[in-house]
Structure 1
Amino acid sequence: MNLGETMTRPVTTARPAMAALILLLGALLLAGCSGGGQTAPRASGEKTLHAGSTTHFSAETMDPASEWDSWYLIYYGIVETLFRVGDDLTPEPWLAAGAERVDDRTWKVTLNDGIEFSNGEAVDAAAVKAAWERTLERNPRGMETLPCEGLAAEGNTLTIRTREAVPSLENALCDPLLCVYYVGDDVDYARETPGTGPYMMREFEAESHIVMGPNEHYWRGTPKLSEVRLTCFSDDNAITMAMQNGEIDAVAMPSASTLATLARDGDGDYRVSRKTTSRADFICMNMTHPVIQNAAVRTAVAYCIDRDGYADVVCQGNATPSWGVYSRTLPFGGTEGLRVTVDRCDVAAAARVLEEAGITDTDGDGVRELDGAPVELDLYTCTSYERFVQIADDLQSRLAQAGIRLRIVPTDYFLEDKGTWAEDDPDMTLDSSAMAPTGDPAYFARTHFVTGASANYGGYSNGEVDALVARLDETFDEDERNGIARRIAQVVLNDNPCVFFSNPDATVLSTSAVSGLDVAPSEYYFVTVDTDVA
């Protein structure tokens, strides 16, 4: 989700530690707003929900096949999938009435009767086939999500033939990339794609805002709102003040400082909904860079991340420290049975690892040298995530004490496509991702750890991981799948291509008048047919 051009804030130098920064941030937050999204006035007499976010309303197009835009369209309530992820992270039938496994490579999916797109066209198996074929052709994640060999449509029955066994097919059918949308010659997909969700687009400006109206053809009841406005805000100060001023009714994924300020000043007028997810905040290493290829450097970085301070201070208790790969809420997550390579924040240990690897400060300037050159790293961080700005500053200070110079490169976009990575060519990036939003243990590994995978931007490659993921993709027994996922986690911990340091909660804050907004462990859903404003 490219949010624009790189910000012009200069590369920073070492800063004070985290606790002081939090106090300063609180003072700045009370001082006022530095800008925000464009909020439109509510139309007289309309029942309108106006929600804001700094991170979750940033679709670049209305095309479900483009990049990650299907995720936004699911979140907005515009498109839906054949199956849906329940609160226990297991798949439940949705547009589909059910799925039957014919053999290891063949599934028959039966659709519910009477579903229509927002343009009134019928949703049958042929319509699903057309949507998927278009998506699989255009999106590089398509075949990773569904390794499809062929689709056959007959009435409301869709037959799926896969290239190999797909034990988790029902999980895959929950993925927003496999959403169902209308395909026709007259559709401008980038601007308006008819879907089956409770709302449809009326006005859209990329990475700015979307205005939606009810889908009169919705199949699961009547939407309660006449209008939904979702606005992107540039920073947390702006969105906090917008909530205080009554410009918006809800905030999706508010920052810790926004939560704290509104909880303090709201006098009980705000409702906070929170659920544990599979999401992880992590640092992704660029394994193609010589300095990063040095295992001691990667280990030193891992030792200098204050996981406990991040969860307790920066996130103010709305996150859990991570020392493994997968969240401990998952059956294959946590660190039990794994050999954890880094189990504490310890600058002295980081310095010792570097010293033992022969990475020393020979000229006494405070920066160690590797192969005769100073050990200097660039860390790209998206300023839309307040918590990332703070952890970057703290990491910079700790790495400086260990003898590594860290340059923070602030951006107003995430580096989450190969083109942006190739252009910016970072040493490291701060990122956040749902690790198992459909409950499938292969979900993240398949796209991020496998050699050459679509989201393996750092160029990580390990033949054992590749083989384990391939085995995971052909194993049906759940206990065996969980065991394979833990083996993958151990190899990744050993190699350290990514440092997973926190598992944040999914949170929605709203006024007491708002109801029916979904806070889903999958993070796929937000606006629903039941969303209402009293």
Structure 2
Amino acid sequence: MKKTLVLLMIAAMTFASLAGCGKEVSKSDKSSDKVSVSKEAQDSHVNIALFTYIEGMDPATDWCGWNLTRCGVGETLVTVNENMEIEPLLADSYEQVDDTTYSFHIRKGVKFSNGTELTPEIVKASIERSIENNSRGQDLKIDSIKVDGENVIFTTKEPFSAFVYNMTEPMTVIVDTTADTSNYDTKPICTGPYYVKEYVSEEKIELEANENYWDKVAEIKSITALNIDSDTKTDAILAGDIDLAQGPAATTLSNVEGNDDVDIVKVTGTRENDFWLNCKEDSPLGDVNLRLALSYAIDRDVVAKVAGNGYSSPLTTAFPETVGYDSDKVKGQNYDVDKAKECLENAGYKDSDSDGYVDKNGENLELKISLSSSSNSAVSETLQDMWEKIGVKTEIEMLEDTSTIRKNGDFDILADSGWQTVNAGDGQKYLANRWKTDSTDNYGKYTSEKFEAVLEKLDKAFDKDERIAAFVEAQQVLADESPCIWLYANDNITLVNSKKIGNVTVFPIDYYLVTNEWTLEN
């Protein structure tokens, strides 16, 4: 049956549980030192630090599109707002013709920063360019793209209910393909409220307000986005070197708590942190009972405090609640030492020689926790202590780089962090990338017919309630089979010089930041 959807009504399709995921602001009592600059410069320019600094600006290359959306330079056909709802952007409406066909109406009156008018033909060429050049292009499952008057028609290779959500992926940022695209890695031409005036590799991105912007022209006329490490962002804003810092290290935030000049703007993010478990049959952790024992033995409230310094939330499922997939309906492993010991017994382990550690067939169980030098070792040490309480002996292995053992599956427990669960405004891709049997990102070599069946169900789940139910089912399968140990979700934190910048929105998805709604407060 023909389905017609208008983007202005898309909120009806999204997840009602997100209604309360707005920002939270806290303040502090210390004064910040400021660099002496002219009044004219103060009135027209701000310095910021991005969540992370990605090399390059061309959305058709790797993850560079995330720079464009963070900087307010690039725009997609549809976007995700601060409540995780799909909203219109360069398309003002769309029609789902059938299970494999979508028609997007391109907004009239849009110009690129160079003055070129946006047309359906340019939209088609831009997305084809990204599909051809970006390694994630095939994730869109597009079979063909056609122009029909003011509309761009997309046909997918198979039913793919996440298609519209995937069109929010920054890889699909629309660029002017009628211009010379050979220098787009440093100066892409896009439609956002800002354009790239200068790009200095590994150092900074100079942004200028786009006077051709189709919506309200930005009040802040220029921005410098600097490459600053998360550990030093708090010091930088206190020193007056920057006016806004996205993603400062949580361990540094005590320095600004109570500072009246710095707002800590935060919302629970969509990234989750977990530890991989090696699920191969020849691994001790190939036994689901042992995996569950380790999971039940963890007090995640303690782990979240250790990891986030008060700026993270405990997590027992694959998705933070912010995403909106009814994670509260999923029964994960809450802290239960007795249940952990029961699972150990079910796996055949007991302390037969009373040395404090469990053994099996005369051999002690010894597991290795592998992590890179840049990982949070405090979390590993906390887990090590918790597992010792149930008689599981672990060793922490600190490596310069974990990529080799990750690729080869040569580990017992692998510390990992910061997985973005909604790379494309939707979690289906995250599920498939991490735990589908044939995925190259399935480092723990997990395989499950139940899980694969749910993924197939998701592809055809166009109805909102049916789709959410499938996400709940997928999370429950993962919770029951525990290929990973989910630990905590970080807050998305942005420090704002409240004397300089106003009206800053923090999004659960961290590839959004700069908007044309920012105001100058001086």
Q: Same fold (TM over 0.5)?
A: yes
- Residue 246 of structure 2 is aligned with which of 237, 247, 252? 252
Inter-partner Cα distance in structure 1 for 2:153 and 2:241 = 48
Correspondence 1:181 to 2:175:
yes
Report the counterpart of residue 110 of structure 1 in structure 2: 105
Report the counterpart of residue 407 of structure 2 in structure 1: 422
Shift of the alpha carbon at 1:522?
3.0
- SS across alignment from 2:371: strand
- Residue 500 of structure 1 is aligned with which of 486, 490, 503? 486
Report the counterpart of residue 393 of structure 1 in structure 2: 381
- Residue 464 of structure 1 is aligned with which of 428, 437, 450? 450
Shift of the alpha carbon at 1:226?
3.7
Residues 422-471 of structure 1 show CA distances to partners (whole Å, capped at 9, x for unaligned) of: 27955413222333466645242233232323643443322222221121
Report the counterpart of residue 300 of structure 2 in structure 1: 307
Contact 2:365 2:392 in 1 (8 A): no
- Residue 54 of structure 2 is aligned with which of 52, 55, 59? 59
Report the counterpart of residue 432 of structure 2 in structure 1: 446
Q: How does 1:58-207 map to 2 (within 5 A)?
A: 58-144=53-139, 146-183=140-177, 185-207=180-202
Residues 192-239 of structure 1 show CA distances to partners (whole Å, capped at 9, x for unaligned) of: 322222222344345543332333432223233343222333352x22
Shift of the alpha carbon at 1:108?
0.9
Task: Give the alignment's Cα RMSD to 1 decimal.
Answer: 3.4
Q: Percent identity?
A: 25
Report the counterpart of residue 343 of structure 1 in structure 2: 334
Correspondence 1:473 to 2:473:
no
Inter-partner Cα distance in structure 1 for 2:201 and 2:356 = 45
Contact 1:379 1:430 in 2 (8 A): no
Inter-partner Cα distance in structure 1 for 2:434 and 2:408 = 19
* TM-score, length-scaled by structure 2: 0.81
Correspondence 1:357 to 2:347:
yes
Q: Amino acid of the residue matched to residue 398 of structure 2?
A: V
Correspondence 1:530 to 2:517:
yes
How many residues align structurally? 481
Inter-partner Cα distance in structure 2 for 1:68 and 1:304 = 37
- SS across alignment from 2:257: helix
Using a 3 Å threshold, how does the CA distance of structure 1 residues 263 and 496 change in structure 2: closer, same or farther? same
Using a 3 Å threshold, how does the CA distance of structure 1 residues 306 and 339 change in structure 2: closer, same or farther? closer
Report the counterpart of residue 256 of structure 2 in structure 1: 262
Inter-partner Cα distance in structure 1 for 2:201 and 2:469 = 42
Contact 1:85 1:438 in 2 (8 A): no
* TM-score, length-scaled by structure 1: 0.79
Using a 3 Å threshold, how does the CA distance of structure 1 residues 66 and 370 change in structure 2: closer, same or farther? farther
Q: How does 1:215-364 map to 2 (within 5 A)?
A: 215-236=210-231, 238-264=232-258, 266=259, 268-288=260-280, 290-312=283-305, 314-336=307-329, 338-340=330-332, 342-344=333-335, 346=337, 350=340, 353-354=343-344, 356-359=346-349
Inter-partner Cα distance in structure 2 for 1:382 and 1:178 = 34
Contact 2:292 2:343 in 1 (8 A): yes
Q: Amino acid of the residue matched to residue 403 of structure 1?
A: V
Structure 2 gap ranges (5+): 1-34
Contact 2:92 2:106 in 1 (8 A): yes
Report the counterpart of residue 409 of structure 1 in structure 2: 398
Contact 1:49 1:532 in 2 (8 A): no
Report the counterpart of residue 484 of structure 1 in structure 2: 470
Using a 3 Å threshold, how does the CA distance of structure 1 residues 70 and 140 change in structure 2: closer, same or farther? same
Inter-partner Cα distance in structure 1 for 2:448 and 2:36 = 54
Correspondence 1:214 to 2:203:
no
Structure 1 gap ranges (5+): 1-39
Inter-partner Cα distance in structure 2 for 1:380 and 1:362 = 31
Q: Amino acid of the residue matched to residue 520 of structure 1?
A: F
Contact 2:82 2:506 in 1 (8 A): no
Shift of the alpha carbon at 1:78?
1.8
- SS across alignment from 1:187: helix
Inter-partner Cα distance in structure 2 for 1:499 and 1:311 = 13
Inter-partner Cα distance in structure 2 for 1:333 and 1:382 = 35
Shift of the alpha carbon at 1:382?
6.9
Residues 243-274 of structure 1 show CA distances to partners (whole Å, capped at 9, x for unaligned) of: 2211111121233333222014x2x1112222
- SS across alignment from 2:321: coil
